[in-house]
Each structure stands twice: as C-alpha cells, then as structure tokens.
Amino acid sequence: MFMTGVTVNQQTMFVDPTTQLASPTTTAVAMTPNIATATTTDTDDTLKISSSSEAYRNNESTLIDSKKVQSIVDEYFKDIPLMSEISRCESHYRQYNKDGSLYLGKVNNKDVGAFQINERYHLKASQDLGMDISTLAGNLRYARRLYNEEGAYPWVSSSPCWGKTDTAKAEYGNTFAIK
C-alpha cells in the first residue's frame, strides 16, 4: 500500500491507492489542516488517489511556487531520487504558471506539468488509468508509472541536464552522461 502525506500551505495532502476514483478525471487527496509532517510507506505502481474533493482541486492551482512543488516531488519520489532531478530539468519543478494556468513545454506545447508528460502519446493511457496529468497528483502518478515501466528513457531528451548528476550515474552509470 502507498500512502504519502505532503504539507502544503499548512495542509497535509494524503495519497491513498486503496480508494478508487469517483470518475477517471477526478484527482483529489484528503487534506488535514495544520499538520506539519510528511510520511510515506511502501510504494505501489498501481496508484489510485482517494476520494474527490473540490477543495483539493481549487487548492492545487495555488501550487505555483516551484519550491512547494519540489518538496512534493522530493517526498513522492524519495525512493527514486533521479525523478526529482528529471522534474528539475524538465520543468524547473513547475506544474502551473504564475497565473495558475497549466505549465506547458516550450519546445512542444503537448508536454504538460512537472514531468512534461506528452499528451499526444500519454493522455489516453493516463485517462484510462484514472490519472489526470494536468494535475500535480496525476502528473506524479503517471510519471511513476512511466518510470516503473521504462526507467528514465521517456525523459532522454532532457538527459543532458540530469544525466551528469551523481544520482543518474549511480543508477545508470554513464548511459545518460552526454558530454
């Protein structure tokens, strides 16, 4: 079972894979005010996010601060630290722009969010799995699924940035260390 709690704006958001979504496009997490701890237990690559909460949807659009997004990415992927490096290189830890709109790729505007997941190739698959990649939670969940299936290869285009890091070298040797 996977359960993660991440504190943002004095609210702890929990991701729980044991509860099915109300609909494939609903992405939400439970929030508990004024809890300043974050916990993670065993991971599961069939992540599902608990319940549907309009409060979370409204609150998620406030995640425009890249430091907040980074702390969530770091916590969510603490078992795969390379994913934090990939998010840094892909989006500079941005899911949303300062105006609250979805962060889209500069080279390809079909790349969305913190992990720049391409809608052309992954939108239908993510929706079929009940993941909304336009939300931070859905983007992280689908990125984990991609990583579990393909490793870092879906992000090879940004490997000149993350491929030289100690984290990448520890996991892949010099495979991605493009000079």
Q: What does the longest C-alpha to C-alpha distance in the chain come to? A: 47
DSSP for 98-136, written as a single string: TTSPBPB-SS-TTEETTTTEEHHHHHHHHHHTT--TTSH
pTM for the model: 0.68
pLDDT 10s digit of each residue in the chain, 179 long? 334 444 443 444 444 333 333 323 323 333 322 222 233 333 333 333 332 334 344 566 557 889 999 999 999 999 999 999 999 999 999 999 988 899 999 999 999 999 999 999 999 999 999 999 999 999 999 999 999 999 999 999 999 999 888 888 887 776 665 44
Please give the structure tokens belonging to residue 147.
Answer: 């990583």
Which CA distances in Å does 171 have to 146, 158, 167?
16, 16, 6
Question: Could you tell me if 92 and 66 are in contact, meaning their C-beta atoms sit under 8 angstroms apart?
Answer: yes
pLDDT for residue 7: 41
Residue 65 token pair:
């601060």
pLDDT at site 61: 55
